[in-house]
Amino acid sequence: MSIEVMPAKGDVTSIACDALIVAAGSKDGSVVLSEAAEHLDREFDGYLSSYLKEISYKGEGREIAIFPSFGKVAASTIVVVGVDKKGDGIKRVRRAAAACARRLSERSVIASTLHSVEAGTVAASIEGFVLGAYKSPTRKKDAKKSKIERIELLDADKADIARGLVYADATIIARDLVNQPGSELTPTTFAERAQLIASETGLDCDVLDEKELRKRGFGGLLAVAQGSVNPPKLIQLRYSPRGAKERVALVGKGVTFDSGGLSLKTAGGMEDMKTDMGGGAAVIGAMSALSRLKPKIEVIALIPATENMPSGSAIKPGDVIQHYGGLTTEVLNTDAEGRLILADALVLASEQEPKAIIDAATLTGSMSIALGHKMTGAFSNDDELWEEFAAAARRAGEPMWRMPLVEDYRKSLDSDVADMKNIGTRYGGAVVAALFLREFVGEKIPWIHLDIAGTGRAEGESDDGPRGATGVATRTLIAWLEKRGR
């Protein structure tokens, strides 16, 4: 069920809704009410602040207290939520809104003043509410769905609301794709979904099938796919507005299920491997937003889609493959397959002569160990591009940390029988994977690699969503493209 979001006019005492959200903070151990909360407290003759004191409410980040209105104002209940005073205001408001959406899932109509706490947070507030209300798809008989039907923002600009919805909707597209079981989202159905999204959002879409891939020499993608009964696809999306200032490329890993191939994962290691196309999902989600935001930049997106399965026809350790573009790789571990398919796509992207390439992939367990599940690791060959992209990540509220491309580790990829091996030294595995990918990026093309292995899936309730796919990188990609295309 989609949530209607709209601006509202009027005094906080006259807004009819099931729950009216106001903010609070803390200073020197005391609760500090927002202007809207103070107005309501006066209407209640100070009983609101007395109640907060009675329950030892501290006003800390995302702390929620619910107070019945007793008919004194039009809202049925008053919801006071803590908004941190520390850190970025956009992130603080987004997280507070998401917390409210989770807590108020049984309410139908919600009105909010959170965006009035700090200027420029209307869109972030919408993202928080919509993504916080998101429920992962389930087939449980007694599954609970959010009952939120409408969110009203007092004195908010329609354009800011619309922009927040674009970011939220794109992230939900990515989450829904990743949360779909691998038996349902095969490379073929993944491509079909991309075509449908493209037709609905004004994108050009072309899909290369196995025959065309073989004809054109996409050896990395074909090698990974050869163990599966489901054929691979190369999904190509394009956004080409009139007056585009430049062209950039996005590349997303699209392994719809990863068993590890003949280098088989453990049973536990396979449980969440439907998530292994999270990079491709983020790219598709980001592309879906462009026709609504209309940045003046041409964007090409490539998603190599395949399964990685064991069988009599599967690629074997020790095999040598030739990638699109001619470089060869000795495959020593078939579970290091993501880099093999991304390599083909990076060469194809480089042929389009973009001003920058960004790739996103659930690539290495090593990255999860290094940065955990809250911070995405990023590698770049260009300082200026990284600073630009890092600023977009901060605006989007998606924490990222630049990792080093340690040149000394490149030697560990040397092979006696091919241009490279697909694995190198055991230590610094995420760095080695990034160094491998760099070999396939065109000379002098600024490039960023996002390893979202740790952040693509939440094992519990996250800041802005439930357990399952996070849709991470989607909002940052949109923010980067939007700013770059101004």
What are the residue numbers of the active site?
265, 339
Angle between helices 122-132 and 158-179 (to 10 degrees): 30
Kindly tell me the burial class for residue 412, based on how many C-beta atoms sit within 10 Å of its own C-beta (0-12, 13-18, 19 or more): middle
Return the H-helix or E-strand segment holding 206.
strand 204-208
Spatial contact of 167 and 482, defined as CB atoms under 8 Å apart: no
Amino acid (one-letter) located at 286: A
CA distance 215 to 28: 69
CA distance 183 to 254: 14
CA distance 288 to 202: 8
Spatial contact of 83 and 23, defined as CB atoms under 8 Å apart: yes
If you write DSSP's letter for every residue of 127-193 in order, what string do you get?
HHHHHHT-------TT-------EEEEET--HHHHHHHHHHHHHHHHHHHHHHS-TTTS-HHHHHHH
CA distance 127 to 117: 16
- Structure tokens given for 270: 């396979």
Beta-carbon contacts of residue 216 (< 8 Å; ≥ 6 apart): 208, 324
CA distance 361 to 282: 9
